[in-house]
Amino acid sequence: MARYVGYRRPENTKKTLKKLMHYMGIHKWSLILVALLVLIGSGANIFGTYLLKPVINNYILPGDIPGLIKMVIFMGIMYLCGVLATWGYNQLMVHTAQKVVSEIRQDLFDHTQKLPLSYFDAHTHGELMSRFTNDVDTITEALNNSFAMMIQSFAMITGTITMILVLSVRLSLIVIAFLILMLVFIKFNGRRSRKYFSRQQKCLGSINGFVEEMVAGQKVEKVFNHEKQDFEEFCRRNEALRESSTKALTYSGMMVPTIVSLSYINYAVSACVGGLFVLQGWLDLGSLSSYLVYVRQSAMPFNQFTQQVNFLLAALAGAERIFDMMEIEPETDQGKVHLKDKGNREFVWEVPEEGGAIQEVPLKGDVRFHDVTFGYNKKKVVLSDISLYAKPGQKIAFVGSTGAGKTTITNLINRFYEIQQGTITYDGIDIRDICKDDLRRSLAMVIQDTHLFTGTIADNIRYGKLDATDEEVREAARIANADSFIRRLPHGYDTMLHSDGANLSQGQRQLLAIARAAIASPPVLILDEATSSIDTRTERLIEKGMDALMEGRTVFVIAHRLSTVRNSEAIMVLEQGKIIERGNHDDLLEQRGRYYQLYTGQFELE
C-alpha cells in the first residue's frame, strides 16, 4: 500500500547525508553485507526469469525431459539462494538500523544535557521531545526499509531494463513508453498527495498541541468554564484535519491501482505485439516468455523507488533537525579550578598556577559580585551594576517586587547563564575559572519551581547526594521538617512519586526540595522562595533545623515573607534589576524606604 509522509525536505542534504554516513560508517561492514545480499537477491530474481528462455527453447520445445528436470532443479536452487539472501539482509538490517539509531539517540541525549539553559528557554518541550520521537522514528523507518529497498528497486529496474533490451530491443520500446507514462503519473500524483500530506501533518500537530495544552490546563479550563469554547476550537481543528487527510488519502489511494492498471495494459499490449513478433519469426517463444515476466514485474520497483525516495528525504529532514541540535554550542566551560575533598567535610579549590604548581584555596563560601550587568538577551538588561558580597556564614536576603531580578541573581552564581559585564568571585576565584561541575557541587539550590522526579521519596531526597545512606536521608528530611509528613504516608519513604510529585501538596514538595538541598550539605545554599507554600508554624520549625544547617554556610534567601528574611545579616532590596537599598532589617525599617513600604503595606509587623 502506498504510504506517504508529510515532510519538509532537508535544507542541506549533502551535509546531513555526510553526518548520517558517519553513524552508518561505524557499521559499514554490516551495511556492505546488506547491499551484497540485496544484490544477490535481486540478481537471482532477474537471472531466474531469464532462464525461462533456455528452458523453453532448449528443453521444452525439443522435449528434453532429463535436461528440463536438471534445469528446474538449478532454477529452484537459485531462487532459494535469492530467498535466503533476502531473509538474511532483512534480519541484518533490523539489527544494524537499531544500533545506528540507538547511537544517534544516545549522542542526542548526551548533547541535550550539555545545552545552555538559554536554549531551553527558547524552545518548547514539545519541540525538543519531537527530536527524540518523530525525528528518530523517521530515521529508523528509513534505515529499516528504505535503505535495502532502494538498492533492491534500483537493481531490479536496471536489471529488468537491461534484460528486456537484451531479449528484444524493438519490443522494449513499448515497455519504456509505459514506464515513462508511469513516471509522469507518479510524479504528478506524488506532488499532489504530498501537498495534502504536509497539510495533514500540520493539522495533526495543531490538534496535538491543542490537546496537550488542554490536558495541562484542565483545572483552569474548568474554573473558567471554558469547555464549550475549547470544544468548538477542537472541532474546527478536527475538521481541518479530516479534510486534508481525506484529500491526501484520495490521491495516494489512486497510486497503486493506477500503476497496476497501467502495468496490466502494458502487459497485454506487450503480449499481443510479442505474439505477432513470434508469428513473424522476429522473436522466439522462449524469449517472449521471459520477456513477459519481466514486463509484469517492472512496475513495482518503479513505484517503490519513488516512494522510498520520499521516505529517505523525510528521514534526512529528521536527521537534519537532530544534527542541527547537536551542533548547538554546548555550555562553555573553560574552568581549570577543581574542588578537592580532603575528607572530614573539608574541601579546597585547586588553583593551577603558572609553572604547573597548584595552590590550594580553602572552600569557604565567600561570594562577591563586582559591577555585574546581565540580560537574558541582548535586547533587555535585567540586572545592572550589581555589586554585593556575602561573607562565609552570612545569610543574605533578596527582596523586591515580582520581576525585579531576584531569581536571576541566583542563576548567575550557579553559572546557568553567562554575565555580560563584571565578575563574580567565589572564595576570591572568578567563577568562570571554576569547572562548572565543581562549582555546582559546592552550591545547593532550592529553586522556585521545584521539580520532583518519578521515583520514591527517598530517591528524590537522595538526588542531592547519590551515595547517601538511609539514615542520612532521614536526617535531611528531619532538618527540612519533612520527616513527619513522610512517615504518615502509607509507604513512608518508599512512596512512589509520579509526574512531578502530583500526589503531594505544594508545601510538601517544597519540604522535599529543602531536604534534597540539606542532604547535599554544601557550603553555599540558595533558597529561592523555598518556604513560600509552607505555613508559618512549619516554617518556624524548618528555620530551627535550618539554623543548624546554615551554621558556617553562606545562604542566599529569596522570600516575600518578612519572617524569613528579617534575621538576615544583610537584606538587598532589588528594583528593576538594581539594588536600591541594603542593610539589616532594623536599618532598612529606619530608612523608611522601599523595604518599609514593601512590608508595612502587606504584613503586620510585630
Q: What are phi and psi of 324, to 5 degrees?
A: -60, -45
Minimum distance from residue 426 beta carbon to ligand ATP (Å): 20
Q: Which is nearer to ligand ATP, 264 or 603 (CB)?
A: 603
Contact 24, 35 (CB under 8 A): no
Q: How many whole angstroms from its chain centre is CA 168?
A: 54
Which residue in the block uniquely carries the three cell numbers 529569596?
558
Give yes or no for residue 121 binding ligand ATP (CB under 6 A): yes
> How far is 406 from 414, CA to CA, in rounded Å?
13
585 binds, among Mg ion, ligand ATP, none (CB under 5 to 8 A by kind): none
Q: Which is nearer to ligand ATP, 190 or 405 (CB)?
A: 405
Minimum distance from residue 600 beta carbon to ligand ATP (Å): 19
Minimum distance from residue 434 beta carbon to ligand ATP (Å): 23
Would strands 421-426 and 429-430 be described as parallel, antiparallel, or unpaired? antiparallel
Minimum distance from residue 19 beta carbon to Mg ion (Å): 40
Phi-psi region of 368 (alpha: psi -120 to 50; beta: other; left: phi over 0): beta
Beta-bridge partner residues of 352: 358
Give yes or no for residue 286 binding ligand ATP (CB under 6 A): no
Give yes or no for residue 408 binding ligand ATP (CB under 6 A): yes
Q: Which is nearer to ligand ATP, 4 or 417 (CB)?
A: 417
Minimum distance from residue 495 beta carbon to ligand ATP (Å): 29
Give yes or no for residue 407 binding ligand ATP (CB under 6 A): yes
6 binds, among Mg ion, ligand ATP, none (CB under 5 to 8 A by kind): none
Give yes or no for residue 403 binding ligand ATP (CB under 6 A): yes
User: CA–CA distance from 386 to each of 117, 524, 575 (Å)?
Assistant: 22, 19, 11
Longest dimension (CA), the chain: 121
Burial of 93 (0-12, 13-18, 19+ CB in 10 A): buried
Minimum distance from residue 598 beta carbon to Mg ion (Å): 15
Give yes or no for residue 531 binding ligand ATP (CB under 6 A): no
The DSSP H or E segment spanning 543 is: helix 536-550
Minimum distance from residue 447 beta carbon to Mg ion (Å): 9
Contact 337, 351 (CB under 8 A): yes
CB under 6 A: which stretch of 126-134, 406-414, 450-458, 475-483 binds ligand ATP? 406-414
- Near ligand ATP by CB under 6 A: residue from 156, 174, 382, 458: 382
**SS3 for 356?**
coil
Residue from 436, 426, 458, 452 nearest 554 by CA? 426
- Near ligand ATP by CB under 6 A: residue from 364, 395, 406, 516: 406
Contacts of 400 (CB under 8 A, 6+ apart): 406, 573, 574, 575, 594, 598
Query: Which spans of this chain sit near Mg ion (rule: CB under 5 A)?
Result: 407, 448
CB under 6 A: which stretch of 149-157, 238-246, 399-407, 517-525 binds ligand ATP? 399-407
Give yes or no for residue 402 binding ligand ATP (CB under 6 A): yes
> How far is 458 from 265, CA to CA, in rounded Å?
72
Amino acid 133 reads T
Q: Which is nearer to ligand ATP, 45 or 408 (CB)?
A: 408
Minimum distance from residue 575 beta carbon to ligand ATP (Å): 10
Give yes or no for residue 533 binding ligand ATP (CB under 6 A): no
CB under 6 A: which stretch of 275-283, 295-303, 318-326, 405-413 binds ligand ATP? 405-413
Burial of 22 (0-12, 13-18, 19+ CB in 10 A): exposed
Tell me which residues in 442-471 interact with ligand ATP (CB under 6 A). 448
CB under 6 A: which stretch of 12-20, 34-42, 395-403, 452-460 binds ligand ATP? 395-403
CB-CB neighbours of 496 under 10 Å: 11
Task: Report the interface residues with ligand ATP, using CB under 6 A.
Answer: 121, 376, 382, 400, 402-408, 448
